[in-house]
Structure 1
Amino acid sequence: MVTLAPKRHAETDLPPPKPVNPLLRLWRVYVVRRIVYALFVIWLVTSGTFFMVRAMPGDPIEVIAGRLSQQGMNIDQAREQARQVLPYDPDANIFSQYFQYFGNLATGDFGWTISQRDTTVLEQIMKYLPWTLFSVGLGVVVAISIGMTVGMIMAYKRGGWFDHVATQIASTVSAIPNYLGAMAIVLIGSTWLGLFDFWDMRGRLTEGVEPGFNAVFIGDALYHVVLPVITYAFTLTGAWALMMKAATTEVLSEDYITIAKARGLKERRVGTRYVGRNSVLPMMPTMAFQVGTLVGGAIVVEEILSYPGVGQLLVKSISLRDYPVIQAVVLILTCAVVFSNLVVDLLNGWLDPRIRSGEATEATK
């Protein structure tokens, strides 16, 4: 009697799966890839800034020596004294300076300023950064509030005269760069129409007003921040109105809105509880992105409006060849833009899992 051998299952013929490298498994995580990309961009910009500022014509020694020579000091003595006040060794190899700089950054040390002795870079920046965040943040809040309100009205009245007029205005305004908006506000509002005194509104505070949690300080700070806020709001409101109109129009076509109206719910409740909330949710990542890009783009606006923020600090530091301050400001502005992009990517990945799965598939190819 012949005994037949048992049939082998097809699975037993397959080779055993290869072990996955732990680093590759980690790289497949969406959040890890986004963070690595963000850190790479920050390193690339910071390194490029380090070498480019040293390639600019002139150097801190010549700038400081020039100021000392104007006070009657011999030029050679001025150069020697300038070398002594520098917070780093100018004769050291540039790559040694580079690695020392990043070593200090790893410990949170931004160094000392060149233009102001006995002042750290961080202390210098903290005199300007809060004012930039204040003006940009207030401008974004105003733009979002007005833009979303107008956008919802445009969606509810789509096809009517208000929709057509508001859409044309929003499209035109959204195409204007913020620095052109700043110049237009000063030229039209102050020079031509005389609606406000630009020279009186310059700066952060009126001379003699001391910072403090009181009505005088708060009122004066709001008075001086009006022009930057109007500039940011003017150039952002149009884009927000158009985005809100598109999002609201899409939500209004959903079945649950029709059902809510059929149930007899008041139009106001439907608009606030269902339409408004679901229209705003997809736009949340854009809010984070605009705050970051505005902080990075505030340089020209602050210079035009004479509002002392990090943008004006950067321009002044470039003219003085204050390398540590230039590097720190560029690093902070880069981090603001990169971090806002990172938040947008992570929020988009959280809201739409297809983004994460799609990138995971590409990473394994």
Structure 2
Amino acid sequence: MALTEVAPPDTGAGQRAQARRRPGRRWWPWRSYLARRVGKSAITLYLVVSLSFFLIRFMPGNPADAYIAQLMSSQGLSYADAANQARSVLAFDPDAPLVQQYLQYLGGLARGDLGESITSPGTTVVSQLTTFVPWTLFSVGLGLLLSFALGVAAGVLVAYRRGGLLDHVVTNVSSFLHAVPNYVWAMLILVVFGVQFGWFDVTAVRGTHSAGVEPGFTPEFIGDIFFHAGLPILVYVLTSFGGWFLTMKSSTVQVLDEDFVTVARARGLTGARIGVHYVGRNAVLPLFAQLAVSVGFVVGGSTLIERIFQYNGVGYHLFDALTKRDYPMLQGFILVLTFSVIVANLLADVLLSRIDPRISAGQEGR
């Protein structure tokens, strides 16, 4: 009697290996979660840039009209004289076909050329961006990081003492700070503490640094830039702290009720170790994705604050370009805003996929 060999039960590894060898199951770049996200981000960037190009030109007026109105109001010129001066100064043709302008703009983007300012001929958009964007990143970025650190620390502390007086006081104050818009806080600080109480010189804090201070990595220059950026940073911390605190408190309370925390307590672990390694580490993970998204709005959230404090950042000049209808400058600023938001969302997606691999695993092969 011949003995038949019994094959061991297949655990699924052999089937997966055969599936990978099949011609129809070849790996394509688009099947990668990261490649899909990068492709979608590139498409989104193109659509937003194109839409903003046309929306800017559909606004009432154009650079020539804005410049003529400025000359008539500031110098008292007639419309004909102001129009002649505008034609000789501005490098702008209002009668140029819109499609031609769009194709020229896309061609410049492909070459890395964002054009020159219409109202300030000879001034490139790239030079303006490289000059003003770092100041905005410094002030808003530092304010965001400080508010995040303070909100996370306070959220964990209050969550451990929830229901008490500290919980009610900090929660109510945080909700109030979060509800008031940042520009309202900026005007209150400037008018009440600067003008009424005279705690600081309103004119001295304007700009990004003092005129007589030599730029460099010196204590004098570093202290000077913190002096000028102090009030904007304070506003960003006040208006962002509440959101981080409330989110961290809610996340910590939820983690404290998890079974693994109960098991850790039953094992006799110290409260500090449980708070750091079990509670804090798991509670803060969702906030990192929100932090990545918030970084994308760093540049765009500074327009009104920088106008109020006369802080010489990208938000200040974005508003100025909008009033003058300076199309290339507006397009350059909007491109930076869009790119920062899209990249931040992409980083948040990648971060979440690393924290929870099920996100990317669920997208693979779709």
The answer, yes or no, to whether TM exceeds 0.5 is: yes
Name the structure 1 match of 2:245.
241
Give 1:140 shift: 0.8
CA contact (8 A) 1:87 1:111 kept: no
Give 1:215 shift: 1.0
Name the structure 2 match of 1:181.
185
CA contact (8 A) 2:178 2:240 kept: yes
Note if 1:314 corresponds to 2:318: yes
Provide the aligned length of Structure 1 versus Structure 2: 344
Which amino acid in structure 2 is aligned with residue 42 of structure 1? L
* Residue deviations 1:159-187 (CA, integer Å, cap 9, x gap): 21211222222222222222222223323
Which amino acid in structure 1 is aligned with residue 47 of structure 2? L
CA distance in 2, matches of 1:80, 1:37: 47
Name the structure 2 match of 1:161.
165
Which amino acid in structure 2 is aligned with residue 32 of structure 1? A
Out of 59, 65, 73, the position equivalent to 1:56 is 59
Give 1:238 shift: 0.9
Unaligned runs of 5+ in 1: 1-17
Name the structure 2 match of 1:346.
350
Out of 10, 32, 39, the position equivalent to 2:42 is 39
CA contact (8 A) 1:203 1:307 kept: yes
CA distance in 1, matches of 2:105, 2:126: 14
Name the structure 2 match of 1:11.
none
SS of 1:303's partner is: helix
Name the structure 2 match of 1:298.
302
Alpha-carbon distance change, 187 to 345 in structure 1, aligned in 2, over 3 angstroms? same
CA distance in 2, matches of 1:277, 1:248: 10
Name the structure 1 match of 2:290.
286
- Segment of structure 1 superposing worse, 125-134 or 246-255: 246-255
CA distance in 2, matches of 1:243, 1:31: 28
Out of 302, 306, 327, the position equivalent to 2:331 is 327
Name the structure 1 match of 2:112.
108
CA distance in 1, matches of 2:244, 2:66: 45
* Residue deviations 1:294-349 (CA, integer Å, cap 9, x gap): 32121112112221111110111122222111110011111112222222222223
Give 1:193 shift: 4.1
- Segment of structure 1 superposing worse, 315-324 or 171-180: 171-180
TM-score (norm 1): 0.83
- Segment of structure 1 superposing worse, 352-361 or 243-252: 352-361
- Segment of structure 1 superposing worse, 45-54 or 82-91: 82-91
Give 1:105 shift: 0.4
CA distance in 2, matches of 1:110, 1:254: 53
Alpha-carbon distance change, 27 to 176 in structure 1, aligned in 2, over 3 angstroms? farther
Alpha-carbon distance change, 139 to 256 in structure 1, aligned in 2, over 3 angstroms? same
* Residue deviations 1:166-224 (CA, integer Å, cap 9, x gap): 22222222222222222233234334444333332222112322221111111010011
Give 1:258 shift: 4.0
* Residue deviations 1:83-121 (CA, integer Å, cap 9, x gap): 465456554321111011111101211111122232211
Alpha-carbon distance change, 161 to 68 in structure 1, aligned in 2, over 3 angstroms? closer
CA distance in 1, matches of 2:245, 2:102: 46
Note if 1:198 corresponds to 2:217: no
Give 1:68 shift: 6.8
SS of 1:154's partner is: helix
CA contact (8 A) 1:205 1:220 kept: yes
Alpha-carbon distance change, 173 to 67 in structure 1, aligned in 2, over 3 angstroms? closer
Out of 214, 231, 245, the position equivalent to 2:235 is 231
Alpha-carbon distance change, 48 to 160 in structure 1, aligned in 2, over 3 angstroms? same
Which amino acid in structure 2 is aligned with residue 320 of structure 1? K
Alpha-carbon distance change, 57 to 255 in structure 1, aligned in 2, over 3 angstroms? closer
Give 1:80 shift: 5.6
Alpha-carbon distance change, 327 to 164 in structure 1, aligned in 2, over 3 angstroms? same
Note if 1:134 corresponds to 2:138: yes
CA contact (8 A) 1:125 1:310 kept: yes
Alpha-carbon distance change, 238 to 84 in structure 1, aligned in 2, over 3 angstroms? same
- Segment of structure 1 superposing worse, 61-70 or 244-253: 61-70
Name the structure 2 match of 1:336.
340
Alpha-carbon distance change, 353 to 201 in structure 1, aligned in 2, over 3 angstroms? same
Alpha-carbon distance change, 323 to 255 in structure 1, aligned in 2, over 3 angstroms? same
CA contact (8 A) 1:83 1:90 kept: no
Q: Please report the RMSD computed on the Cα atoms of aligned residues, expressed in angstroms.
A: 3.0
CA distance in 2, matches of 1:34, 1:73: 54
Give 1:34 shift: 2.4
* Residue deviations 1:116-159 (CA, integer Å, cap 9, x gap): 23221111122211110001111011101211111011111112
CA contact (8 A) 1:65 1:78 kept: yes
Which amino acid in structure 1 is aligned with residue 43 of structure 2? F
SS of 1:294's partner is: coil
Q: Percent identity?
A: 44
SS of 1:115's partner is: coil
